[in-house]
Amino acid sequence: MINKILISAFMLMAFNSYAQNTKVQTAYNYFKYNRVEDAIPEIEAAIKHEQTMGKEKTWYYRGLIYDKICSDAALTEKYPDACRLAMQSFAKSMEINKSSDYAEDMALRGISLFANEFGRGVNHYNKKEYDKSLAVFEFLLTIVPADSLSMLNAGLSAEKIKDYAKAKTYFGKLIQMKYDSPRIYNQYALIQKTEGDTASALETLKKGRQIYPDDLGLIIEEANIYLSTNKAKEAIETLTTAIDKDPKNAQLYYARANNFSTQKDIQKAKADYLKSVELDPNFFDAHYNLGGMLFNEGAELINRANNLPPAKAKEYDALKKQADEKFKESLPFLEKAKEIRPKDMDTLNTLKQLYARLGDNVKYEKIKMELDALK
């Protein structure tokens, strides 16, 4: 009796094993005859059964089935995770047997699948679907953990959705890998700056500049941090380096002019503002700041004149004359600013004061009407 029970149990186990192997083969046959949807339930049952879940062939066939679905646009719409499942299946098969007879085929198919999925991630990113692009690139990193392009795009996607911790993790890994791009240092520093850690941001940028001393992006970002922390002297030095490398960049001259202005170095500020508007004749901020700086110089001279005692009439007349010259000098730049932005309230108000100072009643009344209309 015992022998009969043992034989029956053995036969049952053999039958179960045969049944599960049959499912694997049935799935493959469906695949071979382009009936991939029929293959899915067979292969999914096989990967869950203890008799077949540990066999390289099971996972290889599963990869083939989902690979075929992935290459069919209509089916991919119905099975959006097909490409991922194919890659995961091939990876699992290789994990079971790295010397698999299917290794070469899986490697070739894997390259194609990886490129397909990478392109999907890029499309999500370009459509500003950053959470989706992040998910794609993070998945790809589970397949190829050291893929630098997936890591870069994962970092950029994480930054866009303000997941700064994750973004810093990816950019930090790229720096450790010595990924050849100054952009990594710039991106990492921008996050640190956004988080309010300007000291660490400067350190990151300096590390980047040691490797890429001529990179304009790193130089400009370093200058921006000095600007934001009111370190005018350091900003001027960094901007001068940037101008040496990009002498036709109007923004750089404008930024340096602002710093010279805060340092009360009016002549150097004026020279940089003039260079900025020469390079970009429609640069509103440069025109407005230059005009405003000259106007303020005139106003200071008037204040000095008004503070003189009545006995110093000659000094008063001399200061007033100098003030009028500054007002006249500021006029074309402020009028150009108005031409560029006709409804800018600050420009209109400054021009109103300027016309009053210069006694130009016609223009004063005209600009007063424009201001009243806007209000």
* 48 Cβ contact partners less than 8 Å away, ≥ 6 residues apart: none
How far apart, in Å, are the Cα atoms of 351 and each of 60, 102, 344, 363? Answer: 77, 79, 11, 9
DSSP string, 173-184: HHHHTT-S-HHH
> What confidence score (pLDDT) does residue 149 get?
95
Residue 33 above 60 pLDDT? yes
Is residue 63 within 8 A of residue 90, CB to CB? The reply is yes
Residue 111 above 80 pLDDT? yes
Closest to 292 measured CA to CA, from 314, 260, 270: 270
Residue 366 above 50 pLDDT? yes
Residue 317 pLDDT class (50, 70, 90 cuts): confident
pLDDT digits (tens, 9 = 90+) for 280-293: 999 999 999 999 99
Residue 247 above 90 pLDDT? yes
> What confidence score (pLDDT) does residue 110 get?
85
- Region for residue 131 given its phi and psi (left: phi exceeds 0; alpha: psi -120 to 50; beta: otherwise): alpha
pLDDT digits (tens, 9 = 90+) for 225-242: 998 888 989 999 999 999
Model-level pTM? 0.67
Residue 197 above 80 pLDDT? yes
Mean pLDDT of 216-230: 88
Is residue 39 within 8 A of residue 30, CB to CB? The reply is yes
- Region for residue 181 given its phi and psi (left: phi exceeds 0; alpha: psi -120 to 50; beta: otherwise): beta
Residue 265 pLDDT class (50, 70, 90 cuts): very high
Residue 16 pLDDT class (50, 70, 90 cuts): very low
As to burial, measured by CB atoms within 10 angstroms (0-12 exposed, 13-18 middle, 19+ buried), residue 358 is middle
Cα–Cα dist 141/157, whole Å: 14
